[in-house]
Amino acid sequence: MFDPEAEIWWGIPEFDILAKNITVPGFSPLFPEAHCTETGEICQLVTGESEINAAVTISSLVASPLFDLTSTYFLIGGIAGINPEVATIASVTFARYAVQVALQYEFDVREIPDNFTTGYIPQGSTVPDQYPQSIYGTEVFEVNDALKKIAVGFARAATLNDTAEAVAYRAMYNPTNDTGALYAAGAEPPSVVECDVATSDVYYSGKILGEAFSNFTRLVTNGTGVYCATAQEDNATLEALLRGHLAGLVDFSRIIVMRTASDMDRQYPGEAATTNLFWSNQGAFEPAVQNIYLAGVKVVEGILGGWNTTFAQGVNATNYIGDIFGTIGGEPDFGPGSVFNNNPVTLTRRGLGKRSLKKKEMKGRRGYTYRIGQ
């Protein structure tokens, strides 16, 4: 997504990613080239930061006649904030779900009702725990879980980087420091973790927002998603690749979403949220960048090494893959179900429980009507 995440792959002993440099129209003016090995087996691009940059860059890649991407595996490799309830700084995370957590209504926290825990309300809804009634289509993506687990196995062969500063900062989240067991994962050494990623252009920090977006992740994935990483680009990247899949240009089942943890998304007890974001010496930026390469190269080598036996034909997805609309086929296991059938679908059978959704219809912006409840 930006310079350090790209440069960590340059000059490595395993392969030369700078052997061929190809200017691609539509790429970021700051990062106009795709970088490839001499054989073209491995290529790298830099999207630029935030959702708009990622969407435009990946759309430009998909539309470019310079590449045949029909059998390409895509490894998203970038740093992220981390939820200390699930993992810790310098860890490597692999996601099944990417959730656009900021695609909601927002009120300043000073103007919310006393019984609201957050100023974020799902679109079309009137309370924080009500499933979104107005759906745009980019709220949730689900990628190939079987492929993800293979990538996790490859990555666990890596020895992860760490620093003394990160060790010291982690200790502030230790259960003996007034956190109970809540942040026990945040006090552990870095590891490879299966958990999900939130997309937000807003670079947020703090316990309240972290908990609000964790709750939203669970809500919109029907209780399945586990929020741990926070980044700025992934839903935009996935939407562009999904549209490429629709055009027959890429295979959406060949996407791996990997994020390494450069900072805690919330403060430890007794610390201010602003201190956590602005002034704390967490010591994890450098190891997080290093671990993109250290874990990611194992994934790249694993795919190339098993190309003829496993990866050329693709890894069969045993879970639903795609967006919340069911755009590329199948029935989403979250949300209101596919909009590409002619029948209203219910949410109650999806285990949402009591959310005050009974006997209500909502009209999507695309003219589809979703019936909520029985």
pLDDT digit string (tens) for 188-247? 999 999 999 999 999 999 999 999 999 999 999 999 999 999 999 999 999 999 999 999
pLDDT digit string (tens) for 98-118? 999 999 999 999 999 999 999
Q: What is the DSSP string of 227-248?
A: EEEEESSHHHHHHHHHHHHHTT
Residue 337 has what pLDDT?
86
Looking at the domain 72-103+138-323, which fold is it? Rossmann fold (3.40.50)
Which conformational region is residue 130 in: left (phi greater than 0), alpha (psi within -120 to 50 degrees), or beta?
beta
Is it the case that residue 40 has pLDDT exceeding 80?
A: yes
Mean of all residue pLDDT scores within the chain:
91
Q: Choose among 105, 186, 96: nearest CA to 148.
A: 96
Please, which pLDDT band fits residue 373 given cuts at 50, 70 and 90?
A: very low
Proportion of the chain above pLDDT 90, given as a percent: 87
For residues 71 and 74, what is the distance between their CA atoms, to the nearest angstrom? Answer: 10
Q: What average pLDDT does the segment 14-43 reach?
A: 98
For residues 46 and 53, what is the distance between their CA atoms, to the nearest angstrom? Answer: 10
pLDDT digit string (tens) for 255-284? 999 999 999 999 999 999 999 999 999 999
Residue 179 has what pLDDT?
63
Count of other CB atoms within 10 angstroms of residue 339: 22
- Do strands 74-82 and 227-231 pair parallel, antiparallel, or not at all (unpaired)? antiparallel
